[in-house]
Structure 1
């Protein structure tokens, strides 16, 4: 046997166990509407690790992102099904999970987003999902009224407000209806401001400025937070418009205040469910995870820069104050 052939044979035999091991690894298909931020990826991986799964060690992960082009999701979901993944993790909005559900009735699907999976047609009920879909939600669309009440307590002189929505997203219609009802109940004038991409943010905030908006609320669309860039918060600061936000990540980025669940824990819980399903549990028997604790975060740095005095009663209620 020639030396070159011998070395090649040794290399092949050494690689063979690793190749076999790779074939035995379960494969997770990750389907997202946009780029997942590190603050979401990190807890998701932590949830997987709670069940002993680590990417590259005993788990293969195939990533597919629509890059905020929702019409690409059905084809991307079909790719994951064709790859025969063990589980699909769908995140960013209900659309990735819907696309995955339409693509396969058998491969388990776990979602993580901020809406109502029952009304979005993903599960039969929270306690008994049925079918092949379950997951975790931070029910962000149900907290607009509470955030408006918080605004009234912090800025009682503000009566002109705005809701920033992505008209091309799937969450806009429901959140607009909820915001209009809450604003009417509180005697607030509400403006609906549209932005379907980051390139439209500047014009959106220029419009708010022209309308003399005293504060704004970003919707829970992935464009306004889940990508982790926080550009809408940067724009709000530039125009001097206080932001009443959905989660801590935006308050840290410079939003005046946030009220909502621990968003990172939603993704951790989703990771836990993926791990449990990989171990043999059925999604139909795993109730949809909902948040049980809601945190109030106040950014005093932003308040001082905007010349806003936070009432002491609100400060004492805060779970976290950023100074």
Structure 2
């Protein structure tokens, strides 16, 4: 009986010893949570694609590599409002850790679906306050923050005046369904009027309208301003073809729009907007609160010139602008 008792006690001591040892070891058998980001893009377009690429680069710079320690559920709505709603709801239903939006309509769809709960990062959204996404730039106040794609409008106006000094009437075209585009267009209108120029505003409801609206516009103005507007950007080649027939130059708000036929721009890099947004997303995943995380801006722009367009229109680009484009910006030949 005594031998059995001693054997039992010995076995118990050994068991407790092993239990104590293993309880103090790292829990390597427990799978580490890999966060998921629901990334929603309005449509395919070079400018928006650059923001997307920058967003991924920003995550990587903060230690988050897709396929390794983070998952990105990327959805492209192809400019369809019903897709935006469905895809945003999908993110919420699947309980992603964070959502991100490229273009204002995508951000508004995610905000409606999240209902103040899932954190959302804006990637290059123009006027997030006016779009009713946040309370203020400095203190967003809820579940949304990110980067704003505000264009350097004073520099764009100055560029227009330098390249087309004889212009008196400016045509400004934007999409009626794009809040960011309308905001950009009306703000440029105020600056141009203050500078003594006459402005005429034109709207398209979708890209199919561009041909007809552009034909009317170029017959009535001396120069065209193409704002940071998703619809206008998508139909830029159509706008350019129409404007070229009447030899009317286009000053564009984005480098990709110059590549598609605009004469020139003083533009911020869309990739940089995305990269800063990606870095902000990483920090929110690491615990930073969106409520007090200020909206970030990329303020530094560079000259972008379409040399082929300049020759076609018979416009000589001032030497300092060409040099600036060559040194830090871009020249499309």
Q: Is the Cα–Cα contact under 8 Å of residues 201 and 235 in structure 1 kept in the other structure?
A: no
Moved over 4 A (4+): 316-319
Unaligned runs of 5+ in 2: 1-29
The structure number with the bigger radius of gyration is 2
Query: In the alignment, is residue 276 of structure 1 matched against residue 283 of structure 2?
Result: yes
Q: Distance in 2 between matches of 1:48 and 1:172?
A: 27
Query: In the alignment, is residue 215 of structure 1 matched against residue 226 of structure 2?
Result: no
Q: 2:302 maps to which residue? A: 295
Kindly state the Cα deviation for residue 254 of structure 1 after the two structures are TM-superposed.
3.0
Over the residues paired in the alignment, what is the CA RMSD in angstroms? 2.6
Q: Distance in 2 between matches of 1:223 and 1:203?
A: 15
Kindly state the Cα deviation for residue 266 of structure 1 after the two structures are TM-superposed.
0.4
Q: 2:23 maps to which residue? A: none
Q: Is the Cα–Cα contact under 8 Å of residues 86 and 107 in structure 1 kept in the other structure?
A: yes
Q: Is the Cα–Cα contact under 8 Å of residues 302 and 324 in structure 2 kept in the other structure?
A: no
Q: 1:59 maps to which residue? A: 70
Q: Distance in 2 between matches of 1:291 and 1:40?
A: 12
Q: 1:69 to 1:295 in 2, by over 3 A?
A: same
Q: Is the Cα–Cα contact under 8 Å of residues 33 and 67 in structure 1 kept in the other structure?
A: yes
Q: Is the Cα–Cα contact under 8 Å of residues 59 and 282 in structure 2 kept in the other structure?
A: yes
1:188-224 per-residue CA deviation (whole Å, 9 max, x = no partner) reads: 232222223332222222212332x322111212123
User: What TM-score does the superposition give when structure 2 sets the normalisation length?
Assistant: 0.79
1:52-93 per-residue CA deviation (whole Å, 9 max, x = no partner) reads: 222233322223333223354334322210011010001211
Q: 1:195 maps to which residue? A: 204
Q: Distance in 1 between matches of 2:283 and 2:319?
A: 45
Kindly state the Cα deviation for residue 237 of structure 1 after the two structures are TM-superposed.
5.8
Q: Distance in 1 between matches of 2:181 and 2:223?
A: 19
Q: Distance in 2 between matches of 1:98 and 1:136?
A: 15
Unaligned runs of 5+ in 1: 1-19
Q: Is the Cα–Cα contact under 8 Å of residues 145 and 178 in structure 1 kept in the other structure?
A: no
Query: In the alignment, is residue 205 of structure 1 matched against residue 214 of structure 2?
Result: yes
Q: Distance in 2 between matches of 1:30 and 1:153?
A: 40
Secondary structure of 1:165 counterpart: strand
Q: Is the Cα–Cα contact under 8 Å of residues 133 and 283 in structure 1 kept in the other structure?
A: yes
Q: 1:175 to 1:248 in 2, by over 3 A?
A: closer
Matches within 5 A, 1:126-137: 126-137=137-148
Matches within 5 A, 1:256-275: 256-275=263-282
